[in-house]
Chains A and B, each alone.
Chain A
Amino acid sequence: MKNIVEIEDLRIEFHLRDGVVNAVNGVTLAVKPGEVLGVVGESGSGKSLSARAIMNLLPRTAKVTSGRVRVQRKDGSVLDVLEQGRESRAMREVRGGQVGMVFQEPMTALSPMHSIGRQITTTLSLHTDLSRTAQRDRARELLDLVLLPDPRTMLDKYPHQLSGGMRQRAMIAMALSCNPALLLADEPTTALDVTTEAQILELIRGLQEKFRMGVIFITHNFGVVAELADRVAVMRTGEVVEEAGLEEVFYAPRHAYTQRLLSLIPRLPKAGAAPSKPEPPLSQEPVIDLRGLTMDFTVSKDWLGRSRDKLRAVDDVSFQIDRGETFGLLGESGSGKSTVARCILGAYAPTAGSIHFRDRDNRKHVLTELRGERLRRLRQHFQMVFQDPYSSLNPRMTVEQLIGEPLVNQGETDAGLIRSRAAELLEQVGLSTAMLSRYPHAFSGGQRQRISIARALCTNPSFVVLDESVSALDVSIAAQIIDLLRDLQVRLKLTYLFITHDLSMIANFADRIGVMRHGRMVEVSETRRFFSEPRHPYSEALLHAVPIPDPRLARERRSAKLASFRHSSAA
């Protein structure tokens, strides 16, 4: 066998109460030594299941109905994975020894109870006969290899003491500890910030080249694939619809689904392409006017309850949002963008600064001075749509109750009125009124987000905060939701504050962009101008970190970066 892994006509079923689901439907894939196979697909396409079949680690409820998975072992012999018992010795030797795996969630994929060093030496103890000290030395070497600072002390750290990016590096060190011939990476950068994502991708590429490893890289993001893969397999509903070389898939996609996915990718405006418009003068009557907003959180208190250590989450932030505008607030995790939103919504009382709000009748309210009942009454004018459509809807309430709840909170008691309002809203967000009496579990992620939007619109607000509202959705669904939001904005004269860490989402939606970092607003700029002439070095760094869904451009950018690196190190 010249491939290190071969999947042949794999079929996996789930037997559920209401029928059989064909999760994987005749998948055939292979990876040669040293080759990177990008597997792209939306949620439910069967891409993760196919990868888990290689490890023989399918969920216990899954049934393999046909097909075969073969892995080349270290001694050159070939193992028929699905013929082996899940707990067999041969399988355990493959896992961690021949095939390493990196998962999506660096927060939860490492054991919270064991130190980083311990987790690596455990793997080593299973697959090598190194002595204890040799294991520890090797673990230190590995941490050094994934470029973690100060590997010696890192060994004794626990996952909760590390940032997301550092954990993902530790995870990679663990997966590579026994020199696997194949690395399975399941959305390893999806949960990370763009700049961290770029670093991790670079690391994986570097290690892959260094050790001539085969990699199966599973992702929903075409941009990531363009940065990394040699070959691409596009999956949909359990099938591989197209498999070809990287450039072929990007520049000459054959299957309609691939073409559609590629067309949906939000593309960043090219640098310098747009003529820079002069910045429009600030409106005299902004809907939201933030001046010098500062928010401190108490980290620890002394014995009298006075705060001892303070964390400045938001530091002297000022900006305005005009009526009918979409203001994109961009920042990585911990930048303070959500804290700004919570201050506006009155969930936090800011330490300093003022927030002014104009309602539909152009009456001005000073939000920072309102308390109690008056703040509560004003809340009908501003609403929020959250990130996760799965946890932001109470599973025990019907759609009607969910959408009508804001009205009930405002003191409305007429059940008929609430019902008719809920029905009206449901139609506005493109769902059928027949769904009023159903519960959230009956809906897909995209539908749930529509319900969340309907709920936010219930009290007829003029200002809506969209907190990463499309980040958890598949690209095709996200595009639909953004279209809906745009449409509603025009029809209902809404003003949006769109919070996100994802540059590509904001590019085609926001009118202006504010970039936050470490609690400060580093740049506020009109969107096209932001992409063509970023003024702050951090904005520039963000723009450079976004994976480009274009293999040639991505390669150019890489070699340019390498050249500049060589240049600077030579100088």
Chain B
Amino acid sequence: MGRLILDRIFWAIPTLIAITIATFVIIQLPPGDFATAYIAELIQNGETVDDAEAARIRAEFGLDRPYPIQFLDWIGGIVLRGDFGISFDWQLPVSDLIWERLGLTLLISTLSLILTWAIAIPIGVYSATRQYSIFDHVFTVLGFLGRGIPDFLLALILMWLGLIYFNFHVGGLYSPEFSDAPWSFAKFLDLLKHLWVPVVVLATGGAAGLLRIMRANMLEELGKPYVETAYAQGLPERRVVWGYPVRVALNPFFSTVGWALPALISGDVITAVVLNLPTTGPLLLRALQNQDMYLAGGFILILSVFTIIGTLLSDILLVLTDPRIRHA
């Protein structure tokens, strides 16, 4: 088992190198660069920029050097000094911009993931064991509704309800008076008051889809002979269901934990924009729009690293839970 994990970690290294190169190529792909956009903005503001001036600006950003040098400079800074470069757009270090938002993003995403599973798994199991019962039908309808309603719409509805009926300050993660205040217990309570909206919004959408998957997985497993064997041993239903088919049906969940990590960071941009959340999604969107290459590149790189870590996590979880993989 240890060998398997070491093996996976070893393979992550060439994957990472390939990803950094791909990332750099991708951010260079659109025509023009940040200097082009910057000069266009200057001209729009009525300044005259001649060729010499343009070249000077380009040199100032380091954009006149050959691509391989730019790449080595960029990646060298990250590996050796943890320096992701400066965001052209914000004129701030990329690492500051990203890390500041990453913590909150992880918090919201992890909470919503836990809530998603807490809703989807029990309901999925119930629906499958009582297929075509009244509650199965009810949950099916709710599931399709949850799947069908876009997250941002649900966010708007919750915000509206909160404002009209509970007089909450909604949107953002803090009330105005706390947004720049240092951490205190009061600020923490304020955070909790705001946090539930995005968590519920993100969890319901995810849970609706997951619950259908769980139900389908369970229905397939419940029909297998080993379930009948478990009953024939004399086990009560609850132990049969949760101890045998559920364990197998959870496998697809474990194998997708890895995707949840990067989705946590890049996903749900629209919801985050609507809810005015200081998470990473909106920042990434803006960096891509403005060709803010170091910021965008830094983001994509971190996303990729998270994908690799997530996949590794999935592999480890599967090895731990499924003897067929452990003793393959």
Contact = CB atoms under 8 A, between A and B. Distances in A.
Nearest to A103: B225
A491 to B, nearest CB: 42
Contacts of B312: none
B17 to A, nearest CB: 16
Interface stretch (A34-42, A92-100, A211-219, A424-432): A92-100
A110 B248 CA distance: 13
Interface in A25-71: 55, 57
A115 interface: yes
Contacts of B229: 101, 103, 109-111, 171, 174
B239 to A, nearest CB: 9
A126 B230 contact: no
Interface in B227-256: 228-237, 244, 247-248
A96 B234 CA distance: 5
B81 interface: no
B3 interface: no
A161 interface: yes
A496 B225 CA distance: 36
A110 B228 CA distance: 10
A469 interface: no
Given A101-B229, A103-B225, A112-B226, A123 B327 contact: no
A483 B225 CA distance: 34
A443 interface: no
Given A103-B225, A110-B226, A111-B226, A95 B231 contact: yes
B326 to A, nearest CB: 8
Interface string A9-20: 000000000000
B231 to A, nearest CB: 6
A439 interface: no
B32 interface: no
Nearest to B231: A57
A128 to B, nearest CB: 11
B78 to A, nearest CB: 27
Contacts of A100: 232
A305 to B, nearest CB: 13
A126 B234 contact: yes
B322 interface: yes
A161 B244 CA distance: 18
B182 interface: no
Contacts of B244: 111, 113-114
B324 A92 contact: no
Interface size class of chain B, counting residues whose CB lies under 8 Å from the partner chain: 20 to 34
Given A95-B233, A108-B226, A126-B233, A160 B327 contact: yes
B323 A115 contact: yes
A136 B128 CA distance: 34
B232 A101 contact: yes
Contacts of A55: 231-232
Nearest to A158: B323
Contacts of A276: none
Contacts of A110: 226, 229
Contacts of A114: 244, 323
A523 interface: no
Given A113-B244, A113-B322, A158-B323, A108 B224 contact: yes
A87 interface: yes
Contacts of A109: 225-226, 228-229
Interface string A101-122: 1011100111111110001001
A411 B92 CA distance: 64
Interface string B210-222: 0000000000000
Contacts of A205: none
A127 interface: yes
- Residue from A96, A111, A127 whose CB has the most chain B CB atoms within 10 Å: A111
A103 B226 CA distance: 9
B232 A96 contact: yes
Given A103-B229, A108-B225, A126 B327 contact: no
B232 A95 contact: yes
Contacts of B323: 112-115, 158, 160
Interface in A80-98: 87, 92-97
Given A103-B225, A158-B323, A160-B324, A111 B230 contact: yes
A68 to B, nearest CB: 21
A103 B248 contact: no
Nearest to A89: B236
A452 B292 CA distance: 62
B228 A103 contact: yes
Contact of A97 (B230, B234, B324, B327): B234
Contacts of B321: 113
A123 B243 CA distance: 13
A112 B248 contact: yes
Contacts of A175: 232
Nearest to B244: A111
Contacts of B228: 57, 103, 109
Contacts of B248: 112-113
Interface string B285-328: 00000000000000000000000000000000000011110010
Contacts of A94: 234
A158 B324 contact: yes
Contact of A93 (B225, B230, B234, B237): B234
A122 B237 CA distance: 14
B237 A113 contact: no
A54 to B, nearest CB: 10
Interface of B: 224-226, 228-237, 244, 247-248, 321-324, 327
Across chains A and B, which 6 residue pairs bring their CB atoms closest together, nearest first? Answer: A96-B234, A95-B234, A96-B233, A101-B232, A109-B225, A158-B323
Interface of A: 55, 57, 87, 92-97, 100-101, 103-105, 108-115, 119, 122-123, 126-127, 158, 160-161, 171, 174-175
Given A96-B232, A110-B229, 9 more contacts: A55-B231, A57-B232, A96-B233, A113-B248, A113-B323, A114-B244, A114-B323, A158-B327, A160-B324
24 contacts: A57-B231, A87-B236, A87-B237, A94-B234, A95-B234, A96-B232, A96-B234, A101-B229, A101-B232, A103-B229, A108-B226, A109-B229, A110-B226, A111-B226, A112-B323, A113-B248, A113-B323, A114-B244, A114-B323, A123-B234, A158-B327, A161-B327, A171-B229, A174-B229
